[in-house]
Amino acid sequence: MPPIVGVIGGGQLARMMIPRAIELGIELRVLAESEGMSASLAATAVGDYTDAAVVLEFARGVDVITFDHEHVPQNVLAQLIDAGVAVHPGPAPLAVAQDKILMRQELTRLGLPVPEWASVSTAAELDTFLAANGGRVIVKTPRGGYDGKGVRVVSASSDVADWFEAGGPLLAEELVSFTRELAQLAARSPSGEVALWPLVESIQQDGVCAEVIAPAPSLTAALTDAAATIARTVADELGVTGVLAVELFETSDGRLLINELAMRPHNSGHWTMDGAITSQFEQHLRAVLDLPLGATAARSPWTVMINVLGGPTSGSIADRYPAALANQPTAKFHEYGKAPRPGRKVGHVNVSGADLDDVVYRARAAAAILKD
């Protein structure tokens, strides 16, 4: 019998696990939130992932449960564990990914580098933090924010009055002076094997990842060693299983600070689908099944990933493929089965090669054909 992996969430991350599962002879089952989602090819159930009864029924007969996102409630995860279902990553590390305040608490406990931060429950507490941090800071909602949502740059507590009215503490952080954003992708198996991909640079557009350069240009040995140490420490100390993404700021004085964690395949790792010996999606499946991890070296000197944000304003991406494939025959196109919408991630393009400027040009040209 082939191993059976159940994935909660029917988005593009689950979709991109499907080809790797087929290649490895793994049966993939997906619990999608609704009909017609990105991973509908493998959707064996449609239902509410916050309903324990729905999730427990979906988990019947699978060897392991894993995730397309980190939003499954802790009480549902606990019931899976109580029912004897293997869950990777487990409830404890997922709790850290689900709550940004808990994330900051745990990273601080481990002595890892993070921005100055505070949990603030009142306008007065935020005003105090503002006064101590230059009068301009970042404020985040602890739960649910992604791709720039739930994040504001504020200079007065009144800028988040509506968030305070909604109740619960907010995360306040210093406005970090950084030169670029980096990401260290790793994978860890339940038996403790850890593998790391090359450190990459991510370029943001309106709070959304737009481009990734692998490896990040102009890296020093000290920087790569520091990023690797951070990722290994997070993976081991928090007991992460599966793929882990550590998003980092490189500061103007040469330090690394942890921005965010993701405990699943991540946008910063999409380049691995064509640019690394083992893609993050294959590695995630290996890891959650406690199989030996694959090699993570790059296949080419450079790989550039460009997100297709929004898509065409008329027609579909498929309509653009004849021109895109003819214009950029070395590009690898990955489409998510999503309807175009402003700012929405509807696909990505990977291009690899020996000359970074040429690779960047070809990747951008390929992606531009797919959007207006």
Q: Determine how β-strand 151-154 pairs with β-strand 27-32.
A: unpaired
Return the pLDDT at 36: 92
Type of residue numbered 351: V
The C-alpha atoms of residue 125 and residue 172 are separated, in whole angstroms, by 10
Q: What is the pLDDT of residue 341?
A: 87
Phi/psi for 309 (5° steps) reads -100, 120
Q: Report the alpha-carbon distance of residue 189 to residue 295 in Å, rounded.
A: 14
pLDDT band at 22 (very low <50, low <70, confident <90, very high): very high
Angle between helices 100-109 and 91-98 (to 10 degrees): 110
Q: Tell me: the pLDDT tens digits for 54-81?
A: 999 999 999 999 999 999 999 999 999 9
| CA distance linking residue 281 with residue 273, whole number of Å | 8
* Token duo for residue 361: 């040009």
CB neighbours of 196 closer than 8 A, spacing ≥ 6? 184, 185, 186, 187, 228, 231, 232, 296
pLDDT, residue 293, reads 98
Given a cut of 90, whether residue 313 has pLDDT beyond it is no
Q: Is residue 145 very low, low, confident or very high in pLDDT (cuts 50, 70, 90)?
A: low
From 22-26, 72-76, 296-300, 309-313, the region with the lowest mean pLDDT: 309-313
Report which of 147, 14, 133 is spatially closest to residue 69, judged by C-alpha positions: 14
- Cβ pair 331, 272 in contact under 8 A: no
- Tell me how far apart the 2 most distant CA atoms of the chain are, in Å: 62
**Residue 186: predicted pLDDT:** 98
pLDDT value, residue 148: 59
pLDDT score for 146? 62
Alpha-carbon distance of 93 to 88, in angstroms, equals 9
pLDDT tier at 143 (50, 70, 90 boundaries)?
confident
Both tokens assigned to 210: 């737009």
Whose CA is closest to 67, among 108, 112, 28, 20? 28
User: Is the distance from CB of 227 to CB of 248 less than 8 angstroms?
Assistant: yes
- Please give the angle made by the CA atoms of 324, 329 and 331, to the nearest 5 degrees: 80
Q: Is the peptide bond before 89 cis (omega within 30 degrees of 0)?
A: yes
Please write the tens of the pLDDT for every residue from 161-211: 999 988 889 999 999 989 999 999 999 999 999 999 999 999 988 888 999
Buried b (16+ CB within 10 A) or exposed e, 109-118: eeebebbebb
- Confidence band (pLDDT; 50, 70, 90) for 14? very high
Q: What is the average pLDDT value for the chain, to the nearest integer? A: 95
305 has pLDDT over 90: yes
Amino acid at 255: R
Is 80 exceeded by the pLDDT of residue 372?
A: no
Q: Tell me the CB-side half-sphere exposure of residue 30, using CA atoms within 13 A.
A: 25
Task: Please give the average per-residue pLDDT across 220-233, as a whole number.
Answer: 97
- 89-93, 94-98, 150-154, 259-263: range with lowest mean pLDDT: 150-154
Question: Does 150 have pLDDT greater than 90?
Answer: no
Task: Tell me what the mean pLDDT of segment 338-357 comes to.
Answer: 93
Residue type, 121: S
Q: What average pLDDT does the segment 24-53 reach?
A: 95
What is the spatial distance between Cα 331 and Cα 239, in angstroms, rounded to a whole number? 37
Q: Which residues have CB under 8 Å from 316's CB, separation 6+? A: 340
d(CA 371, CA 288): 35
Question: What b/e sequence results for 156-170 when a residue is b if at least 16 CB atoms lie within 10 Å of its CB, and e otherwise?
Answer: ebeebeebbeeeebb
* CA atoms within a 13 Å half-sphere pointing along the CA-CB vector of 61: 9
Entry field: residues in the chain: 372
